[in-house]
Structure 1
Amino acid sequence: MKFKIRNNKPKKVSKNFDSKDESNSLTSVYEELKFLREEIKLFKKEKKTLKKKLNF
């Protein structure tokens, strides 16, 4: 089942956007990305071990 986003309203962006805020935001996004990549690696390892257990 596919869903469409019905709320296409433009979002307001503050004109007082600080570059420091942008840097902190990018850093947090980068940290989250690193964390998620590690999670994916762990899930892949877990999947592999479960497959081995099921095959034996």
Structure 2
Amino acid sequence: MKLPAKSWPDVDWQSVNRILVENTDFKDYIELMPTYYQTGRVCARDWNK
């Protein structure tokens, strides 16, 4: 199933929850987002597993 590549002003939490169920690696990504959003820094060891 392909998801459209569109920019949305708000998070589609229903889609996020569906992806979390289908892809457990996505959970790690979601957990890293608040740190990136607040600091703008990317820790390579966390993102490049």
The structure with the largest helix share of the pair is 1
TM-score for both structures, normalised by structure 2: 0.29
Q: Which has the higher contact order (CA 8 A, sep 6+)?
A: 2
Larger Rg over CA atoms: 1
Q: TM-score, normalised by structure 1?
A: 0.27
